[in-house]
Amino acid sequence: MTATDIATTVRTCLREVAPEADLDALPADADLREELFLDSLDFLRLVELLSERTGHRIDEEDYPHLESVNSTVAFLSRVG
C-alpha cells in the first residue's frame, strides 16, 4: 500500500469508529483521541479495523504511533 492508500484506509476506519466526526476538517496531525473524543473502546475498534484492512498486526506497544493520521500513516508505512 502507498502512503495515500494508507491515509485513505485510516480515514475510512475513522469514519466507521466516529461517524459523526467531521474528518474533512480534522488536521492530519491532530490527536485522534482528543479531537474525535475516542474512548478506549473506540480506539481499540480503530486498531482492530486498521489491522484487518492493512494486514498488519498492531500490538499495544504500537499504540503511541497511532496518535494522529500522519503518525498512523508513517507507522503503517514502516511496518508494511
Domain regions of the chain by residue span: 3-79
Contact partners, residue 14, CB within 8 Å, separation at least 6: 21, 23, 26, 32, 36, 46, 69
**Average per-residue pLDDT for the chain:** 95
Phi then psi for 18, rounded to 5 degrees? -130, 70
Query: In this model, does residue 17 exceed pLDDT 70?
Result: yes
8-state DSSP, 30 = S
Is-contact 65 71, C-beta < 8 A?
yes
Q: What is the pLDDT of residue 1?
A: 84
| CATH superfamily assigned to domain 3-79 | ACP-like (1.10.1200.10)
> Residue 33 — pLDDT band, cuts 50, 70, 90?
very high
Residue 72 contacts residue 64 (beta carbons within 8 Å)? no
The structure's pTM equals: 0.91
